Structure 1
């Protein structure tokens, strides 16, 4: 399954037209217009109408997703109906605070009933219950990505907002393993600062080294660093091409093994090479 590149997914408030338009005109791989945390209760309906208009105007030109209000809120069903009405202009629906596969099943039913049979969803994992059920959630209907929500999860756990990335390793590994087993993307949640500073760069590099596909960012200044962190270098991409070409040539000769630069190649190396090319935006022809 070929996924959208989500190296840098920029979150913009759905109630602020200026910031939303600025995000849509920027360079993020995906723009996520937020109807949940960024919108007060009195503005939910107005924000829903605003982001619907923005998606219709911009969604076919660039990837745009909507973060809806959470399951159990009075706005959940209306948000999903609005998403369904946007059709192919919308890239996906981001569902917050997913704690069980039942939430995705409910969302699937609402979207199907509203006429959106192919609209993908992403699941935000923001509670201990969500982490505990991540294997089942990752296999849920329509799911294309899971994202860690550090702010809500950290608040429930009592974890310091300044905790370094390695303090989150258990959660990150749980989410990453479940995502890979289910064949969906694993996206690192937003850093809790808005600057492109040393802490943000460390967090982005840490997530990339672990194997995540990308990261949410909350300020345009962070986009370039995130994209750079999750993009292989030209040398890495070229090596991946050589690996696949060498393996293809060996297979054509009927050889059971191949060697490149003094190292044996096998299917595990090929898997890593294909991922490198996918992350670099190259097409894998092998």
Structure 2
């Protein structure tokens, strides 16, 4: 089910703990396309209510029109409904739902937000084997859903994968999630690399998922923002080609030509879809 609105660019999404006022402020001042303020893993049980209040107050006071989402606590926790009610009342703020196992998780969140009259958009964090197995139904569960994100830490632990991050180990999961997202017309976002360094391993992992076709990546440290944004931003040559593709197809439609051509190649809607995705990554 495609989203009825144009989603924001998510070349780079910076995740910040919702209980740390300094890190929240720094994240909101960063160059990341989107900031996710975390009420789940980054916050201890004793500080859940405090963190929720801090995040909501900070967004109301400091928000300057940038893209912000909040990772709420999972539906199986005692804090989830209060999180959804409070964050859902914030104007223009998205919600990341963690540990999405089935479509029912998103449907439940959607119904609660609908009862509140909230227009909040959703992202699904897939980080369990059940979530991967149910990914087709998850991606088409609700029109609120804009993106699906891979959560490597929890998924790796559940699968028993140890010994660090090797991109090739995750190809099956990555392709599975990417195909489901594309079929549903939503974004596929790579999860955070399990380190805070902008090193060769981090860049190789980001380039790997960029080449697979992912729209962007989560990062957990501001030092990774510039590299991630650069990796997921199309080259000037790719942008120029995308514009030429769309111009050629528009001209063929205007003139009534049977088919569009460019540089000796036939163009069809599949090529146009790819071109539009390139321009969306540039904000064009």
TM-score bin (small chain) = over 0.9
- TM-superposed deviation, 1:173: 0.8
Aligned to 1:181: 183
Count of equivalent residues: 279
Name the SS of the counterpart of 1:33 in structure 2: strand
Q: Which runs of 5+ in 2 are unaligned?
A: none
* Structure 2 CA distance for partners of 1:262 and 1:159, relative to 1, 3 Å: same
**Is residue 57 of structure 2 the alignment partner of residue 58 of structure 1?**
no
Q: Which runs of 5+ in 1 are unaligned?
A: none
* Structure 2 CA distance for partners of 1:115 and 1:59, relative to 1, 3 Å: farther
1:222-264 CA-partner distances (Å, limit 9, x unpaired): 1111111111111110111111112222222222123322323
**Residue range with higher mean Cα deviation, 249-258 or 196-205:** 249-258
CA RMSD of aligned residues (A): 1.3
Moved over 4 A (4+): none
TM-score, L = length of structure 2: 0.95
- Measure, in 1, the Cα distance between the counterparts of 2:243 and 2:117: 42
- Measure, in 1, the Cα distance between the counterparts of 2:105 and 2:252: 47
Aligned to 2:145: 143
Aligned to 1:246: 248
- Measure, in 2, the Cα distance between the counterparts of 1:240 and 1:155: 40
**Is residue 281 of structure 2 the alignment partner of residue 272 of structure 1?**
no
1:196-223 CA-partner distances (Å, limit 9, x unpaired): 1001101111111111111000001111
* Structure 2 CA distance for partners of 1:221 and 1:254, relative to 1, 3 Å: same
Contact 1:147–1:187 (CA under 8 A) maintained in structure 2: yes
Aligned to 1:73: 77
1:68-102 CA-partner distances (Å, limit 9, x unpaired): 111110101111111122133x1x11010000111
Contact 1:151–1:161 (CA under 8 A) maintained in structure 2: no
Out of 43, 49, 64, the position equivalent to 2:47 is 43
- TM-superposed deviation, 1:24: 0.4
Aligned to 2:16: 12
Name the SS of the counterpart of 1:87 in structure 2: coil
Out of 226, 229, 232, the position equivalent to 2:231 is 229
* Structure 2 CA distance for partners of 1:234 and 1:83, relative to 1, 3 Å: same
Aligned to 2:122: 121
- Measure, in 2, the Cα distance between the counterparts of 1:48 and 1:139: 29
Out of 193, 196, 202, the position equivalent to 2:204 is 202
- Measure, in 1, the Cα distance between the counterparts of 2:106 and 2:163: 29
Name the SS of the counterpart of 2:132 in structure 1: helix
- TM-superposed deviation, 1:144: 1.0
